[in-house]
Amino acid sequence: MHIHILGICGTFMGSLAQLAKAQGHRVTGSDAHVYPPMSTQLEAAGIEIIEGYGPEQLDPAPDLVVVGNAMSRGNPAVEAVLNKGIPYVSGPQWLHDHVLPGKWVLAVAGTHGKTTTSSMLAWILEYAGMQPGYLIGGVPGNFRESARLSADSPFFVVEADEYDTAFFDKRSKFVNYAPRTLIINNLEYDHADIFPDLAAIQRQFHHLLRIVPGNGLVVHPLGVESIDEVIAKGCWTPTQSIALTEDNDIEASAASWRARLLVADGSRFEVLFDGQSAGIVEWQQSGTHNVLNGLAAIAAARNVGVKPADAIAALGQFKGVKRRMEFLGEHRGVSVYDDFAHHPTAIKTTLEGLRARVGRGKIIALIEPRSNTMRLGTHRSSLATACADADQVFWYQPPNMDWSLDEVVAESPVPAEVVSDLEALIQKTLNAAEPGTRVVIMSNGAFGGVHSRLVEALANQPQG
């Protein structure tokens, strides 16, 4: 079968393309913005990518078109699909119909940490010899690709996104996945382009809970009001909670799983289950958000038979995920990282974790507010304080954003500046960086190739 995917370079659709290819289909696809790491991964898999959405790409017609949720009416390729009567389906529906039947699905949902936690969970199961299939919205360091079929394994790990499914299906993607084990990492207001308020997102999570079977498991953080409200609407599945804890912490002691930090940056922590020590995680990750991600992955893995001790050992070998505080290089004593920051909370937790790791070392943040929610200005009031752990912030003002970042700079607790030219942004960073500086580039897009351009500029600086 020839399957053509519209929006193939999105993290979900690109991963889905690899699953379809592994099933033996001929897979092609198109996108308006083709950039690594997904474009590189697709090319390596032998999947043809077409730039743009011209209707000629559907002549001759494929057997099936899988439509990404970024596609809308008026798109030339979408209109051609409808006019020609070519069979079409959403990506989540295709996954439900052709990959997930008969699988024990372990899904990771929440506003933040889905990609990282899914990668942790898939790696834990791999380390335990279960060879799971998986679909992750990023490229895990412990695997060569972002998706794997693994037809012989009964387990499948999926990153479960609450964004809508397609222009013809406005339910959240995750209602297609039928999870038996579900992690809800956290729940905040996001996706302001499709959800009017937090209550609308909570409604979708309630729909998700409705399809988790009674012999499954729901893992969630202890005492998060937005999640507790969803569970209160109805939950027919056993739950286990996770929390950070300190000695004699009565409130956290109510959690099923607890993590006690042994190092402030979270690179070493003890895992407790039902009050008993299960072992100590020593790994390369930092930040309390990653500690909670790891704790949730341990809990979910235990639900399918992985001993906590084995899960803890697996996390000790966890290599992280591309674009999640990914180390890009170091020149002249200046280290550069790439982070997929899409929300003020993601910015805050990442910088907090880095600050805990480097102490008084200098941190410079380069931030592009690219997500739909940040472009709409929904969280503008919390952007400034999200950067409190940086020493200096350069905000990139995209040309098509309707509000000015000057107001964020005016409220910034640390030195900050708005820059609208990428070359100027690179030069200002070079001028501000000194040996020992960590530069974190924060965007959920390509950011004009700033990542490689900055690393190259640092490498080409004259000795001095």
State how far the Cα of 443 lies from the Cα of 350, in Å rounded to an integer: 12
Question: Which residue has better confidence, 327 or 62?
Answer: 62
**What domains does the chain contain, in order, with CATH numbers?**
2-90 (3.40.50.720), 99-315 (3.40.1190.10), 326-460 (3.90.190.20)
pLDDT above 70 coverage of the chain, percent: 96
The residue among 253, 174, 186 whose CA lies nearest residue 224 is 186
First and final C-alpha spacing in the chain:
60
Return the higher-pLDDT residue of 35 and 40.
40
> Higher confidence at residue 35 or residue 226?
226
- Give the model's pLDDT for residue 258: 95
pLDDT over threshold 70, residue 248: no
**Reported pTM:** 0.82
HSE, CB side, 13 Å, CA atoms: give it for residue 255: 27
pLDDT in tens, 388-425: 999 999 999 888 777 788 888 888 999 999 998 899 99
pLDDT at 256 over 70: yes
Residue 264: other Cβ atoms inside 10 A: 14
Q: What integer best gives the mean pLDDT of the chain? A: 91
Q: Is the pLDDT of residue 227 over 60?
A: yes
20: pLDDT strictly greater than 90: yes
Q: How far is it, in rounded angstroms, from Cα 384 to Cα 413?
A: 7
The total of other beta-carbon atoms located within 10 Å of residue 303's CB is: 19
Q: How far apart are CA 220 and CA 316, in angstroms?
A: 22
Each residue's pLDDT tens digit, 320-359: 887 778 888 888 899 998 988 767 888 888 898 889 888 9
Q: What percent of the chain stands above pLDDT 90?
A: 65
Per-residue confidence band for 168, with pLDDT thresholds at 50, 70 and 90: very high
What confidence score (pLDDT) does residue 95 get? 97
Other CB atoms within 10 A of residue 24 CB: 8
